[in-house]
A = this chain, B = another copy of it.
Amino acid sequence: MEFHVIQRCGDSRARLGEIVTPHGRFETPVFMPVGTQGSVKALSSDDLENVGVKVILANTYHLYLRPGHHIVEKLGGLHRFMSWKAPILTDSGGFQVYSLARLRSISEEGVTFQSHLDGKKHFVGPEEAMAIQMALGGDMIMSFDECAPYPADYAYVKNSVRLTTLWAERCLEHKSDDNQALFGIVQGGMFPELREESAKSLVHMSFQGYALGGLSVGEDRETRRHVIEKTVPFLPEEKPVYLMGVGKPEDIVDAVLLGVDMFDCVLPTRNARNGTLFTPQGPLVIKNARYADDPEPIDDACGCYTCAHFSRAYLRHLFMAKELLSYRLNSIHNLYYYNHFMSEIRSAIRQGRLVEYCQHFYEGRSGSPDP
């Protein structure tokens, strides 16, 4: 993997960059839709391409449990399995082990847990996380981390950083495929000094990219912004910075200004399935009765397939009738929105008007159609 900074932004840490992987290149800042179980929910690879998606994330934990990384490997790796030709990033599995699995016990070796699917016992440590991600064959892979709960006290988080550092070293040792770029994950909860400690240890080991983990776990926006601001300066400028699991458009704008290059979040696709649609004016809740006979598209300035073909009335009908097509059309719209939004951010950096764009963005969201 290569990362090039194409242009910096005068008034902030934001930068326009490019990542080159064995499955193609994409520009940053970038948003990666989440393909949890080998599918970005409700969408095919063609849909993603048509929306303009250039890179997706897949969940190591889910694919390890089902269908199993050995099956994916036997079928030629995740790209071929799901027929997605562009770059894939796999997460470490750490976050899901802590948020989904049951009866966890954590030791220096790794984590023993019960599958949320069938209660079966599993063990995953850094060596296993590498073996699984090598079998899946993602272009970017993540070191195995311990994601502290929120809130967590200083002593807990300090130990969590220690484990994460220890495991990161073992991940580096066990990762053997040069086609895969390994990212280290900075932990440290909401404590800037622990974030600094974590970042410095990881940077010392020299990863190909750095992720900020353990955020978007319940903290408020100001806290998150503060933690990012106090962490990014300790990461090398020539490596991409990835903020895991974030977030809302406003959270992305915040983080881009602080120097973050990569994002992933289930929000656009999950909201789509819940009938909450993104617009430049804020969220539109499609089940509202006012849309029952509304002939307008979700957003008449949007260029997505859904907005080009269907009225709010039809989309409301599909949603109320629980038609499967509802989830797909809504997901196409929301991902298009996110993708378009990221390309606007990149254009603004390129044209040296990011701060102006962000100002305009924050102001525009006061006029939500469904306040």
Give Cα A44 to B81, complex, Å. 24
Question: Is residue A41 within 8 Å, beta carbon to beta carbon, of the partner chain?
Answer: yes
Partner of A318, one of B39, B74, B327: B39
Give Cα A313 to B43, complex, Å. 18
* Contact A81–B321 (Cβ < 8 Å): no
* Contact B324–A74 (Cβ < 8 Å): no
Known: A67-B292, A328-B44. A38 touches B309 (CB 8 A): no
Known: A67-B313, A67-B317, A81-B313. A41 touches B324 (CB 8 A): yes
Known: A43-B325, A325-B44, A327-B324. A38 touches B318 (CB 8 A): yes
* Contact A293–B71 (Cβ < 8 Å): yes
* Contact A83–B313 (Cβ < 8 Å): no
* Contact A83–B310 (Cβ < 8 Å): yes
Question: Is residue A274 within 8 Å, beta carbon to beta carbon, of the partner chain?
Answer: no
Partner of A66, one of B37, B305, B309, B317: B317
* Contact B38–A313 (Cβ < 8 Å): no
Q: Which residues of B contact A302 (CB under 8 A)?
A: none
* Contact A292–B42 (Cβ < 8 Å): no
CB distance from A36 to the nearest CB of B (A): 9
Give Cα A67 to B324, complex, Å. 16
Question: Is residue A206 within 8 Å, beta carbon to beta carbon, of the partner chain?
Answer: no
Question: Is residue A143 within 8 Å, beta carbon to beta carbon, of the partner chain?
Answer: no
Known: A45-B309, A293-B74, A311-B75. A39 touches B323 (CB 8 A): yes
Give Cα A34 to B317, complex, Å. 17
* Contact A292–B37 (Cβ < 8 Å): no
The A77-122 residues at the B interface (CB cut-off 8 A) are 81-83
CB distance from A56 to the nearest CB of B (A): 13
Partner of A314, one of B38, B310, B320: B38
Question: Is residue A329 within 8 Å, beta carbon to beta carbon, of the partner chain?
Answer: yes
Count class of interface residues, chain A? 35 or more
Known: A45-B309, A81-B313, A325-B42. A71 touches B37 (CB 8 A): no
CB distance from A217 to the nearest CB of B (A): 25
Q: Which residues of B contact A41 (CB under 8 A)?
A: 323-325
In the complex formed, the residue of B with least CB distance to A322 is: B37
Q: Which residues of B contact A313 (CB under 8 A)?
A: 67, 71, 75, 81
Q: Which residues of B contact A42 (CB under 8 A)?
A: 324-325, 328
CB distance from A291 to the nearest CB of B (A): 11
Known: A318-B39, A324-B328, A327-B324. A81 touches B293 (CB 8 A): no
In the complex formed, the residue of B with least CB distance to A117 is: B321
In the complex formed, the residue of B with least CB distance to A320 is: B66
Give Cα A316 to B39, complex, Å. 13
Question: Is residue A295 within 8 Å, beta carbon to beta carbon, of the partner chain?
Answer: yes
Q: Which residues of B contact A44 (CB under 8 A)?
A: 325, 328-329
Give Cα A125 to B41, complex, Å. 43
Known: A327-B324, A328-B44. A317 touches B38 (CB 8 A): yes
The A47-70 residues at the B interface (CB cut-off 8 A) are 66-67
* A residues apposed to B, CB below 8 Å: 37-39, 41-46, 66-67, 71, 74-76, 81-83, 292-293, 295, 305, 309-311, 313-314, 316-318, 320-321, 323-325, 327-329
4 A-B pairs closest in CB distance: A42-B324, A83-B309, A67-B317, A39-B325
Subset of 16 A-B contacts with CB under 8 Å: A38-B314, A38-B321, A39-B318, A39-B323, A39-B325, A41-B324, A43-B325, A44-B325, A67-B292, A67-B313, A74-B293, A75-B295, A81-B311, A83-B309, A324-B327, A328-B328
